[in-house]
Chains A and B, each alone.
Chain A
Amino acid sequence: MMYAVLCYNNEEMVCGWTKDQDEAVMAQLSKVHERWEKAGKLKPSIRLLPTSAATTLHKQKDMVLDGPFAETKETLLGFYIIDVSGLDEAVVFARELAAANPGGAYELRPIHLYLPGAPIESAYEADRQYAGEKVSA
């Protein structure tokens, strides 16, 4: 089974970290990343730029608004990673998705750090092994 692990924290606090503090946290995290990536279980991991850089497409009204998605009734259902020339092209992509699947919104957040992690195929191998262990236990 694949999981998406979504990271939440107080953005203002994280943005206020000094370069040294930020690097210290990233170094600590990278130890964990390394362990799980070696086991073939950590796939891409992504650090987003702050919400200051976010733009939101509200699908029903086809409105592009500055800022992050702030409604509380809707929840996060999934996400895409795209590699495009800039915000304009990202909006084009989101609009095409919106036409295919109306309702809700797409928040566009630039990616700050992209680590590819272990290849995806091995996830299924790990899955099978895990299932096998459970069955044999």
Chain B
Amino acid sequence: MIDHAWTEATLTASRPQAVAALLRYFRNLDDAEEAYQEACLRALRTWTSKGPPRDPIAWLIMVGRNAALDQKRKTQRLTELPDEALLSDLEDVETPMAERLDNSQYRDDVLRLMFICCHPDLPATQQIPLALRVVSGLSVKQIARAFLLGEAAMEQRITRAKAKVANAGVPFDTPGPVERAERLAAVMQMVYLVFNEGYSAGPKDDARADLAEEAIRLGRLLLRMFQAEPDVMGLLALMLLQHARQPARFDANGDAVLMEDQDRSLWRPNLIQEGLALIDKAMRHNRASPYLLQAAIAALHARAPRFADTDWPGIDALYATLERLQPSPVITLNRAVAVSKTKGPQAALDMIDPLGERLSGYFHHHGARGGLLLQLDRKREAREAFDRAIALANTAAEAAHIRMHIDRLIAESGEAARA
């Protein structure tokens, strides 16, 4: 007797590897997805009566492939000429159930499947939905809900993305080390994009918030395949440490709570522990990478029992390394926040001001600037910065947070006027 929850969880967990292997056989996303779908239907029937197989993924690949071949044979018998070349080609790659699909094969399959979804021809707005549909197996409805889009519109977006990758022609032979590394880098970036979609969701936007957990699941999958990659450890650690704060990020009204005001007892200790353990492992490789450095910064926040205990010099130093590795005005901006804690608001402002032009359209730039100006008691300029920030807010939570500052400034100036 196996329970329904187990079957469902196993099918979800098996999907990336199974679809990836089926894609290698069929070399076509739609065929691979359809074959997997069929295998799942058969699994629901067979597993409940006969018990689960020893290796569910191998079972699903086998059954999906055979079912699809049966279907092909049937339809081809009805058409004039059976495409024997295609059939024998597929027979050639037949592997008996007994043969264990080794980790390295899975690895390149899954990497290829994920890489297809983050093809450089696709804009991020198509990459993420495609990956969620194809790799994670979320329904179009679920994805549409996460992106606040109609189902039909999302369906169209995914179909368009699929057509584009079908024409892009991703090679199916085993990638060389350089190509593999390039694919991995692109896939990691895509996974982090998925995470950020979830992370930036508002408090009541559960559909979108779930994407953070989905990204963590994909991150675990990547690490299982690339066990010795410190960068992958860093990516997973970064996502775990950020996600650990989720229960404390919004108050009862749904307003964003700044990290300094968060109730740290709500942070999820198991995610923090895992993140810290991953950083510990990655550090042994002595290879700094952007994800690992960002994870290390998140770790310093996670390790501080209270906001006042935060190791700001440590965070400043990590941002400095990150700046050297990956120069970007956003990183300098973040570093400035740490500098404001160690050297005061003026030093931070001096770092931020030269970035003004490049970050003029960036919400956090104006928000942080407003905060620093406020600390320096330059209220009029602070108000200007907050006004620009609120116009650029991406989410209701971001806007609400700035609104609070502005309201306070208005109230104070009102009091000052009365006094």
Contacts and interface: CB of A to CB of B under 8 A. Distances in A.
B277 interface: yes
A16 interface: yes
Interface string A80-111: 00000011100000000000000000000010
A16 B236 contact: no
Contacts, number: 64
Contacts of A19: 247, 268
Contacts of B221: 12
Given A12-B220, A15-B217, A53 B10 contact: no
A87 B236 CA distance: 18
Contacts of B12: 16
B13 A49 contact: no
A67 interface: yes
Interface residues of B, number: 25
A13 B278 contact: no
Interface in B264-321: 268, 270, 273-274, 277-278, 280-281, 284
Contact of B13 (A13, A22, A55, A86): A13
With most chain B CB atoms within 10 A of its CB, the pick from A49, A51, A52 is A52
Nearest to A90: B280
B277 A49 contact: yes
B228 A67 contact: yes
B159 interface: no
Nearest to B56: A10
A5 to B, nearest CB: 21
A15 B220 contact: yes
B228 A52 contact: no
Interface of A: 10, 12-13, 15-16, 18-19, 22, 49-53, 55, 64-67, 86-88, 110, 112-113
Which are the 5 A-B pairs with shortest beta-carbon distances?
A: A67-B227, A53-B277, A12-B13, A13-B9, A110-B277
10 contacts: A16-B213, A49-B270, A49-B277, A50-B274, A52-B274, A53-B274, A66-B281, A67-B227, A87-B277, A112-B273
